[in-house]
Structure 1
Amino acid sequence: MAQVDKKAGLLRKSSASRKPLKEKVVLMYDEIFALEDPAKNNPRFWEELFLMKVNLEYLEGKLESLDGDEVMKIKDNINSLFHNCIQALAEEHQIKVVNALQTLCALLRGVHQRNKSTSGFDIINMLMGFDKAELRMKALMESLDAQLCGDRSHSLKSLCFKLLLCLVTVTDNISQNTILEYVMINSIFEAILQILSHTPSRIQHGYDAVVLLVLLVNYRKYESVNPYIVKLSIVDDETTLNGMGLVISQALSEYNRQYKDKEEEAQGGFFSAFTNMVGSMFIADAEEKITVHTNEAILLALYEAVHLNRNFITVLAQSHPEIDIVSTPSVAAPTMPIAPLGTTPPSLDMLASPELPLDPNLQTSNLLITFLKYSSIVMQDTKDEHRLSSAKLCLIILTCIAEDQYANSFLHDDNMSFRVNLHRMPMRHRKKLADKSLPSRPLVCAVLDLMVEFIVSHMMKDFPMDLYVRCVQVIHKLICYQKKCRIRLHYTWRELWTALINLLKFLLSHETTLLAKYNIFNLALLVVNLFNMFITYGDTFLPTPSSYDELYYEIVRMHQVFDNLYCMVLRVSTNTGQWKEPASKVTHALGNIR
């Protein structure tokens, strides 16, 4: 049988003796793109169309080749195609439903691709006619809701999610996608919750459901009342929240596992032997080979859940056997392209097994631990804008957690101790910490370790000021809770004090360069205020009197840093300039230390 040229819709190419032979469905598409009504001479045209396999490449390519004026000439036929697709979704014949869903995807993508600069209202007019848009979209959303909630096959539900994700993501800026106004009116929120609360459905479609939900939550969230935000904030069903947490946890765990596999692969073999032979000068090069493509969709879902729904905080602490150490990599279907590390949903095997066989060597984990490990990977490299944004989102999530009373209670609970193996940036002056040497400690220790690690490893020319401010603020919120509740945390506080002092030293050394870009006095004030808290209230939360002695020893030992800081802020505050007021605040704050 001749090879089909899908792009051109040819079953047989033309030759000297034969005309080109086109697929029947392609000939029918050509009738739609003609000026006349395709059903005029064939009343069964639409019924026959949806019985034939869709040629997505040809249909999308044809639509992309037309500009706005050309689409308007065949607007009636495009409107009829959209309308008949919606009608086909109500058919009992599953083949018709599948073909209608695929045709709608091609129609949405094709029309938007060529008309990106066109207003949302014109796009709606091209697709379904502005006068009938509300009716058409109501019918579409009701059909999709029925498919997702009904007893349909998993493959059909998967196509429904693909169509909805296509509908949501056809524009670069989701808030400019005017069609979503109809998705706001005709909510599918309950259908998404049903998928997440039902285990077999969550295993198959949980990832798509969570991504779709977080995208809808972010539609014009600051411009108007978004019903998905309101509904998500009041969800209190434990099964649904656990289902959402499990999807997020497994996606992050899959990423952590893939990263760990790549890290071990990079450290093994001839390359490792070669670097060991010549020393540690190539450590950075070896690390760069581990490509980190972060999963922003899942990270954003975690942020929205923690930020909007206080009931979700309980999900963070729910323990389960650690799943990111299982070395069973998922095998992608041969027809699917291989996506960058971390951007693919977790394998169905992983989603299907939230409960793993208990093993004496298996560590207990939870969503928060998985997120902390993920954050430790993301925060290692913040040199480009993309990774910088991911690290910022991680710190914003940690800020939300550090501000929550219940989250703080389980973070500081001595009865909830875990061994958290955070990823640390390779540095020549320190050895890699062995995983087995880590003790079990309250989770707040892991959070503080992550913050200290960030402070130590990012003092560089391209200084991430915003991330440093957020990092120190997280530490401040945790210590405020310890002071308030008089919790004496057994932590190696000296590492934190040393990191903070070295940060002040870095700000002093690069004063001229940094002041040209940032208000360094704001960060300096946050650090000085932390030391003031330790000095003034340390007796309420430091574990032993010797810890207090260590604090004073460090301050006295590094007094030159504080003296230099005082001289610098005094000089700036006594001169007129834009930094006079923030510098004077640091001057006053230093009085307690000096």
Structure 2
Amino acid sequence: MEPSPLTQDSRPEIFQPKIIRLYEALFKEEEEDTELSDGFWQEFFLHRPDVGGLKRILDSIPPDEMLHLQSHSQQLVRRAISGVKQAKPPADEIALETLTVFLDAALTKKYTNPSSDVISVLAGLHDADAVMTDFVAVLDAVIRNGRSIPLRLKAVRATLSITAAGFHTALPSYFTHRDLFPSLMKYIQDCENSTQVAPAFYLLGLLTNYNKFEFQNPYRLRLDDFVNDAIIQKMIRGFGENCLKLRDAYVAVQEDLPEGWTLGSTLSYIGLGVLAPGSRPLTPTPAAEETKSLFGALPGPEAGTLLTTYDFANANKVFCFHLVSLQAEKKPDASPLSAFLSLTSYLFQHAHRSARAASYAYLSLFILQVLVEDQMLVKKMCSDESKLSVRLCRQRQPYLPLVRSERVPAAVILDLMVDAINHNLRRRLDYDFYILCLAILLRTISYLSRTKTRLSYHWSELWRTLLSFVRFLTTYESDIRSNYKSSEMVDTLVGLLAFTLSAGENFLPDPASYDDLFYKLTESGDVLVKFRDAYRLSSQTGSIQSLINVSSHYHSLLEGNEGGKARSKNLSPREVSTVIKQGYETLSIETSEGLDRWDKFREADYKPVLKRIARTVVDDAKSLAEFL
């Protein structure tokens, strides 16, 4: 039999999607000046985008080559804008998603002249204003009144992507020339869940921080007078949910909540955990190096919403009120404030791991300082009506006492400051961090003293922490005193200790808490003298001398004679307490005026820190935009 004239072509090993072939045709260097046909673009925007494929192709193109291909990239931008503007599904969504991927890849390349080269790739120097203004207008319209929430969400993500990727170029200025704030608020109002709110809230923080120290940023001004309660509450609830997700990422690395004494834990203790009701295999604990690496990558990039929260809190009293007041939608869920305080606890214990982690810890400090400076807010945070339960980090020693019951937020904030001070001690001290911690303590305690609010709290932990800090500063004086900021930090620490000493009877809940302060000062007498000399604090300075005088007074009493007999060197706690009480009768405390005075938080004082934080958030926004 003769062979058939019909032959079967062999199948290709890999089928290449048509859209990938179109991407390759678009970015062929040999056709850089060709005006692609209408038919090409019609077909281009009929196919669902292959995000991974487009990104791979764009990432493989060097910056110089991307400039050579600017004719085609400019066509892509113009055609995509036109496709979004026509609002015909599914072409508008395809155009928007394609444009988002392209912009993210094109803007993050390291060009020789970033601003001018980016403009050349996107629109050309002559047409830049017209094209980019049109693009922002189209995004604005879709965010405000797009035909569906998913499409509007894509527009928010596209704006977040271009703002983050081009933050250090002139591109975000187009979003400040056209005010997107009303559209973003309308979008948030229409959102159905916090997942949809998050990108818009994140974007608002980036836009607010764009060159805000160089010119009057319109978004910053918008935050001042925004009073829509419903939208603010929706943003804060979304922020609270985000805080819990970020907190749970730390817990996933290392479970740190002590288990209650149950039948299961008892059986586990004696090696029979498998018999416990509902027993299940324990999650393997990562090795030390792996744990260190996992913690080093936290918090996740979603932490950038802390920047928006800080900017809103610093500008808007209504926002602060809702942040402090908003309750959980249902029990036993955490309120937004509880979620924020819990995340902050984990941030503080791990702030030492990287500059990035420290940046987010700073944002929490800024927010807390703004809150405790407002007398109405701190009053609310000291009220029994505001009691809440907060899971605090216990992943590193020393541990604070475990409190399972609800407490007023002010007590939780004191715990946060104690943890922050204890867990970030190192020779190359972060002075601004410690100045903020001490400032928050001073503001909180000065309010308690002025209002005679007796706060139930484990005060001995605070006394121990502050005096341990004095001991640390004395030990490493040669490393610390050379920095000009050390004097402000030392003065604040001494003033805080002196203030608690002179005003303790106004806010301490019982005599035992006051006695404990005097006893710990007595124990630290030698250290206080060395501290004074090491930092050249004049003996005439009232605050440090008051501390030393109190220590000397009780030291002499504890070592002195009683009824003609020398005191035993091994006094019982009760005997020490008796001596402390007796010593009040002969003790004279020199009170220095103004120890409880403080200057209001000024953002400009932390300009370098905030600029560094903004860079961190922008970098995280770039990575976040890929997964939203």
Question: Normalised by the size of structure 2, how large is the TM-score?
Answer: 0.73
Question: Any conservation in 1 of the 2:45–2:91 contact (CA below 8 Å)?
Answer: yes
- Pick from 381, 391, 412 the counterpart of residue 361 of structure 2: 391
Aligned to 1:130: 125
Deviation per CA, 1:405-460, whole angstroms, max 9, x where unpaired? 23212111132222333113433x76x8555xx33322111111111223333434
Structure 2 SS opposite 1:591? helix
Aligned to 1:263: 254
Distance in structure 2 (CA, Å) of the matches to 1:30 and 1:514: 56
Seen in structure 2, the aligned counterparts of structure 1 residues 516 and 260 have a Cα distance that, compared at 3 Å, is: same
Question: Any conservation in 1 of the 2:233–2:326 contact (CA below 8 Å)?
Answer: no
Q: Report the AA paired with residue 238 of structure 2.
A: V
Q: Report the AA paired with residue 190 of structure 2.
A: H
Structure 2 SS opposite 1:590? helix
Aligned to 2:479: 513
Aligned to 2:339: 370
Aligned to 1:38: 35
Distance in structure 1 (CA, Å) of the matches to 2:153 and 2:93: 10
Deviation per CA, 1:342-394, whole angstroms, max 9, x where unpaired? xxxxxxxxxxxxx34x4xxx36x422221111111111121332222222222
Cα shift at 1:231: 0.9
Q: Report the AA paired with residue 366 of structure 1.
A: S
Distance in structure 2 (CA, Å) of the matches to 1:4 and 1:90: 36
Question: Any conservation in 2 of the 1:149–1:194 contact (CA below 8 Å)?
Answer: yes
Question: Any conservation in 1 of the 2:67–2:117 contact (CA below 8 Å)?
Answer: no
Aligned to 1:194: 186
Q: Report the AA paired with residue 396 of structure 1.
A: F
Deviation per CA, 1:474-495, whole angstroms, max 9, x where unpaired? 1011112223323222323222
Q: Report the AA paired with residue 518 of structure 2.
A: Y
Aligned to 2:375: 405
Deviation per CA, 1:540-589, whole angstroms, max 9, x where unpaired? 333345544443333234322223323434xxx4xxxxxxxxx4499453
Q: Report the AA paired with residue 372 of structure 1.
A: L
Tell me, yes or no, if structure 1 residue 414 matches structure 2 residue 384. yes
Q: Report the AA paired with residue 86 of structure 2.
A: E
Deviation per CA, 1:164-202, whole angstroms, max 9, x where unpaired? 12211224xx2x2211111111222112112222341x4
Question: Any conservation in 1 of the 2:33–2:71 contact (CA below 8 Å)?
Answer: no
Aligned to 1:293: 298
Deviation per CA, 1:318-341, whole angstroms, max 9, x where unpaired? 3434xxxxxxxxxxxxxxxxxxxx
Larger radius of gyration: 2
Aligned to 1:159: 154
Distance in structure 2 (CA, Å) of the matches to 1:25 and 1:284: 49
Question: Any conservation in 2 of the 1:59–1:106 contact (CA below 8 Å)?
Answer: yes
- Pick from 69, 84, 90 the counterpart of residue 89 of structure 1: 84
Seen in structure 2, the aligned counterparts of structure 1 residues 89 and 568 have a Cα distance that, compared at 3 Å, is: closer
Aligned to 1:317: 324
Deviation per CA, 1:113-144, whole angstroms, max 9, x where unpaired? 44533231332133112332222223222222
Aligned residues: 515
Structure 1 SS opposite 2:421? helix
Question: Any conservation in 2 of the 1:472–1:526 contact (CA below 8 Å)?
Answer: yes
Seen in structure 2, the aligned counterparts of structure 1 residues 48 and 22 have a Cα distance that, compared at 3 Å, is: closer
Aligned to 1:249: 240
Deviation per CA, 1:486-543, whole angstroms, max 9, x where unpaired? 3222323222122111211121122223335575443332222112212333333333
Aligned positions of 1:481-560 closer than 5 A: 481-516=447-482, 520-560=486-526
Aligned positions of 1:231-250 closer than 5 A: 231-250=222-241
Structure 2 SS opposite 1:225? coil
Aligned to 1:53: 48
Question: Any conservation in 1 of the 2:243–2:339 contact (CA below 8 Å)?
Answer: yes
Identity of aligned residues (%): 22
Q: Report the AA paired with residue 422 of structure 2.
A: V
Distance in structure 1 (CA, Å) of the matches to 2:67 and 2:208: 32
Cα shift at 1:223: 0.7
Structure 2 SS opposite 1:212? helix
Distance in structure 1 (CA, Å) of the matches to 2:87 and 2:180: 21
Structure 2 SS opposite 1:396? helix
Q: Report the AA paired with residue 315 of structure 1.
A: H
Structure 2 SS opposite 1:592? helix
Distance in structure 1 (CA, Å) of the matches to 2:407 and 2:257: 30
Cα shift at 1:73: 4.9
Distance in structure 1 (CA, Å) of the matches to 2:110 and 2:431: 39
Distance in structure 1 (CA, Å) of the matches to 2:160 and 2:113: 21
Distance in structure 2 (CA, Å) of the matches to 1:537 and 1:313: 29
Distance in structure 1 (CA, Å) of the matches to 2:141 and 2:13: 38
Aligned to 2:441: 475
Q: Report the AA paired with residue 512 of structure 1.
A: S
Distance in structure 1 (CA, Å) of the matches to 2:339 and 2:214: 33
Distance in structure 2 (CA, Å) of the matches to 1:262 and 1:380: 14
Deviation per CA, 1:291-328, whole angstroms, max 9, x where unpaired? 3511431221221121122211112223434xxxxxxx
Structure 2 SS opposite 1:421? coil
Aligned to 1:591: 545
Question: Any conservation in 2 of the 1:248–1:301 contact (CA below 8 Å)?
Answer: no
Aligned positions of 1:208-223 closer than 5 A: 208-223=199-214
Question: Any conservation in 1 of the 2:197–2:235 contact (CA below 8 Å)?
Answer: yes
Aligned to 1:341: none
Distance in structure 1 (CA, Å) of the matches to 2:52 and 2:457: 60
Question: Any conservation in 1 of the 2:344–2:361 contact (CA below 8 Å)?
Answer: yes
Structure 1 SS opposite 2:161? helix
Aligned to 1:103: 98
Give the gaps of 5 or more residues in structure 2: 1-10, 272-285, 550-628
Aligned to 2:312: 305
Deviates more, 1:395-404 or 1:233-242: 395-404
Q: Report the AA paired with residue 398 of structure 1.
A: L
Structure 2 SS opposite 1:130? coil
Q: Which has the higher contact order (CA 8 A, sep 6+)?
A: 2
Q: Report the AA paired with residue 395 of structure 1.
A: L
Seen in structure 2, the aligned counterparts of structure 1 residues 550 and 223 have a Cα distance that, compared at 3 Å, is: same
- Pick from 449, 461, 469 the counterpart of residue 415 of structure 2: 449
Deviation per CA, 1:31-50, whole angstroms, max 9, x where unpaired? 796144434xx453333332
Cα shift at 1:93: 2.5
Structure 1 SS opposite 2:41? helix
Aligned to 2:558: none
Seen in structure 2, the aligned counterparts of structure 1 residues 286 and 492 have a Cα distance that, compared at 3 Å, is: farther
Q: Report the AA paired with residue 184 of structure 2.
A: I
Deviates more, 1:186-195 or 1:473-482: 186-195
Distance in structure 2 (CA, Å) of the matches to 1:264 and 1:136: 52
Seen in structure 2, the aligned counterparts of structure 1 residues 90 and 472 have a Cα distance that, compared at 3 Å, is: same
Seen in structure 2, the aligned counterparts of structure 1 residues 134 and 586 have a Cα distance that, compared at 3 Å, is: farther
Question: Normalised by the size of structure 1, how large is the TM-score?
Answer: 0.77
